[in-house]
Amino acid sequence: MTIDDDTLKSISALTLAHYNDNAVSFRAGTLDHDVSQNIAALLRHIEGPPPYTLLDVGCGPGRDLKTFNALGHRAIGLDGSERFVEMARADTGCEVWQQNLFDLALPDAFFDGIFANAVLFHVPAQVLPRTLHALHAALKPGGVLFSSNPHGKNQEGWNGPRYGSYHDLESWQALMQAAGFEEMEHYYRPTGLPREQQPWLASVWRQVTA
């Protein structure tokens, strides 16, 4: 399907409004989420000696920025929600950029790794190639991108007050490869459960320069 520009603006505005309006409860509800498996997956595929310069896309209130800092890396956050940006800056002391995922403006070849945990599914499939190309260009040659998204059967639309796109593995692989990435690994979360009880598809990708 094709989404017109006004509808895209509405999708972005309403989804971000939900996060702004629920920022405090979201922080409380996600503070203790264990994403150490995802952080480790990103870091083990980055080549060269640490510390690394990392971008946490969709950093929210800053939980994972704190972890990256504690591990000795230089972490920069990015989020579209004004309230999350304020929280992340105050709670972590990190540099945090407020940018819309639909129209990123990132420095070229700057980051060793990009952590996109539970965020890229908010980008409509129509816009996603542009977003992925921006992330690809922001990585140093051979840099690594981690993503985790709720998977589905390639449907998209409103899930309550938030918009989401839910790709299956094959569709996600095709999108990432078209943007210039090669797959390092993928897995489903939470670990140790039957697939029907694993809503999250996590994957790690290396930037390939043609």
Domains of the chain, earliest start first: 5-207 (3.40.50.150)
Q: Dig out the tokens for 50 from the structure.
A: 């640490």
Q: Binning pLDDT at 50, 70 and 90, where does residue 164 land? A: very high
Query: Using 50, 70 and 90 to split pLDDT, how confident is the model at 210?
Result: low
Q: Are 10 and 98 in contact (CB under 8 A)?
A: no
DSSP at 146: E
Q: What is residue 84's three-state secondary structure?
A: helix
- What letters, b where the CB count within 10 A reaches 16 and e where it falls short, cover 23-32? beebbeeeee
What crossing angle do the helices spanning 23-30 and 82-92 adopt, rounded to 10°?
50
Q: What is the pTM of this model?
A: 0.97
Residue 136, both tokens: 């690809």
Share of the chain above pLDDT 90, in %: 98
Residue-wise pLDDT for 104-156, tens only, equals 999 999 999 999 999 999 999 999 999 999 999 999 999 999 999 999 999 99
Q: Is pLDDT of 190 > 90?
A: yes
Identify residue 131 by its one-letter amino acid code: T
